[in-house]
Amino acid sequence: MKFTIEATDPKSKARAGLVKTDHGDIETPIFMPVGTAGSVKAVHQRELTYDVKAQIILGNTYHLYLRPGLDVLEKAGGLHKFNGWSRPILTDSGGYQVFSLSGTRKIAEEGVMFKSHIDGSKHHFSPENVMDIQRTIGADIIMAFDECTPYPCEYNYAEKSMHMTHRWLKRCIERFDTTEGKYGYSQTLFPIVQGSVYKDLRKQSAEFIASCGRDGNAIGGLSVGEPAEMMYEMTELVTDILPTDKPRYLMGVGTPANILEGIALGVDMFDCVMPTRNARNGMLFTSEGIMNMRNEKWKDDFSPIDPNINSYVSTFYSKAYLRHLTVSKEILAAQIASIHNLSFYLWLVGQAREKIQTGEFATWKDMMVKKVSTRL
């Protein structure tokens, strides 16, 4: 994997760059649609490619390991072959899903024992087997095994947890660097900064992660319920320490405004379930603001969903028709809303990239943050 910076914004820390992988290039800043179980919910690959214009999607180790399982994925020749997505894929390590999804779990130095949320069966994740599992899934970018601390979190716990995440990282690197990809293309490992909302811990963690010298770095443990200002403060502290010549990935973030602020702080990659999950609940993100599609207000508004978004569904379908589908609980409502929301997120980061290249990002960002946060 190779990263080059093409432009930096004069008035913020924003950068426009290019990530090169064996499955193609990624223009940054980028948003990565979440395809937890190997599918971006309600969106098929042709729409993801030609309407949404996604450049990279995310998969989850936890889900894919439990179902369909490693034997199926290996027989298929990896996740790209299995789901038909031939562009880059990133897999999260399970170090977050285990904590948020599985009912019972036991964290120890060796790893995490957990029960499947599907059938209650018992499993164990360790830094080593999570590297092996991600080798078998075959994503282009794989994530280190970490503990994402909750919010709020006591200082003592956050400190202990951070040190364990660092020790786990050393074990991840040792296993990753002594194994090879199974399908003939290369994979790269991103470590993850933790440290909760404590400045000294965040600083220590960022310095440790930076010293590992990997191809890219991630910021975890944020967007877990802390105030947005706190998330921005921690992000800036970390981006000021992480190497400038490597991509930075802010995990699980966020709203359109969160993403714009993250870009201004020097973040290059984002992922979040929000555009797809909220779409299934009738919430639309548009270039003019946020719409609740259940609202009576859209009943006879025959204007397009969002004329500014260059995606088939955004201009073809009217607000009134989508409201009707939403209220009627039609499957098509989820499909249209998901494709539109993702198209909007990809449009937003694409616009940010253009504005960074023309040196207008900072002023455009301030105007856009207000716009995209407006409730219509």
Q: In angstroms, give the least distance from the CB of 250 to ligand PRF.
A: 8
Cα-flanking dihedrals φ and ψ of residue 113, to 5°? -90, 135
Rounded to whole angstroms, the Cα distance separating 57 from 342 reads 11
Which CB sits closer to ligand PRF, 224 or 356?
Answer: 224
Which CB sits closer to ligand PRF, 100 or 281?
Answer: 100
Which CB sits closer to ligand PRF, 56 or 251?
Answer: 251
Q: Which of 251, 259, 260, 337 binds ligand PRF (CB under 6 A)?
A: 251
Q: In angstroms, give the least distance from the CB of 348 to ligand PRF.
A: 19
Using the contact rule CB under 6 A, the part of the chain among 25-33, 90-98, 198-206, 208-216 near ligand PRF is 90-98
Which CB sits closer to ligand PRF, 58 or 293?
Answer: 58
Burial (Cβ within 10 Å: 0-12, 13-18, ≥19) of residue 2 = exposed
x/- contact string, 223-242, with ligand PRF (CB under 6 A)? xx------------------
Based on the shown chain and the rule CB under 6 A, indicate whether residue 269 belongs to the binding site for ligand PRF: no
Q: Which of residues 127-156 bind ligand PRF (CB under 6 A)?
A: 143, 146, 148
Based on the shown chain and the rule CB under 6 A, indicate whether residue 275 belongs to the binding site for ligand PRF: no
Active site residues: 92, 271
| Binding-site annotation: residue ranges for substrate | 92-96, 146, 194, 221
Q: Footprint of ligand PRF on this chain (CB under 6 A)? A: 92-93, 95-96, 143, 146, 148, 192, 220-224, 251-252
